[in-house]
Amino acid sequence: MSIAPSEVQIEDSSEIRDRKRMIKVIVWDLDETLWRGTLLEDGAVVLRDGVAEIIKTLDGRGILQSIASKNDHNHAMERLRGFGLAEYFLYPQINWSSKASSIKSIAASLNIGMDAVGFIDDQAFERDEVAFSLPDVCCLDPIDLGGLLDRPDLNPRFITEDSALRRQMYLSDIERQKAEESFIGPQEEFLSTLGLELTIAAARTEDLKRAEELTLRTNQLNTTGYTYSYEELNEFRQSDRHRLLVAGLIDKYGTYGKIGLMLIECAEREWTIKLLLMSCRVMSRGIGTILINHILRLAKEANVRLLAEFAPNGRNRMMYVSYKFANFREVEQRGELVILENDLSRIQEFPPYAKVEISA
């Protein structure tokens, strides 16, 4: 964890590491894994014992699920509907491609990294092929399903409101994507059709579980990758030397949930953005620009120098680009940590396609 010890009381580092590696999506094989039997040989397949309960429990924890199966798509989906489980699987890949190829497609559609994928398949060959091609994927044997729900990487510390709604929010994203793909015209015109409403507010106690979850789950649209616990975030929330802001988003398709977190260290004459992150689900909504310009306005009103920390992790370059577009420039290098500064001379208006409500 990259936090100065003077800022807060830090949790044991092993506990942080254990919580940071979390599986965000389980990808199931079908034949002899999710169900007993081989569909193309015997249509009378039956669910493996306990599988329905496992699927529903994972869903309630906010862990997404999909399928990578070599099978006939229509036939397999028909059986899943018959079992009452089809709705739980996002972007199912039921085809004759390699399992690694299917998992790549699922991860790309969900916009998550391979290190957040768990893959369950009864065939050692399939698991080995995936492990070789995608070494960051956690490969699991269905023989171990009895202990699956007890795995630490499948047990988030908190089950938040956003967690419980995660699958539904991704289903709404699918509807948005369909609408965007069929829309003819500039991106901003499409965004204007969504009725976007963004809220930016000082974090409340009830926001902190989701805020911790965001620091643990968000790697790409994250400026520093700092991991903060509920207790640390609560100290920041109450600190006179920090501002902890949370952003939420809704549109005509429904809620995105709490999708942004900002932590600013506020000295008398100098502010430093310690953390700026957003859910990947809002990547194309221009939310980063709005959040950055809100911070610029706050700093200008406070008449302080504004710095920002950036820690490259190989996946978050888009956040560096966002800072550069917002007129930040590099002023210092501290090891791998880049320090940027904004002279507050160029602050953009909020875009007309989004209604922004500020209470912070």
Digitized pLDDT (tens) for each residue of the chain, 360 residues in all: 333 333 333 333 334 434 457 899 999 999 999 999 999 987 789 999 999 999 999 999 999 999 999 999 999 999 999 999 999 999 999 999 999 999 999 999 998 889 999 999 999 999 999 999 999 999 999 999 999 999 999 998 888 888 889 999 999 999 998 999 999 999 999 999 999 999 999 999 999 999 999 998 887 889 998 989 999 999 999 999 999 999 999 999 999 999 999 999 999 999 999 999 998 888 888 899 999 999 999 999 999 999 999 999 888 999 999 999 999 999 999 999 999 999 999 999 999 999 999 986
Domains of the chain: 23-154 (3.40.50.1000), 187-359 (3.40.630.30)
pLDDT per residue as tens digits for the range 84-110: 999 999 999 999 999 999 999 999 999
Cα 164 from Cα 111, distance rounded (Å):
19
User: The pTM is what?
Assistant: 0.81
pLDDT per residue as tens digits for the range 120-133: 999 999 999 999 99
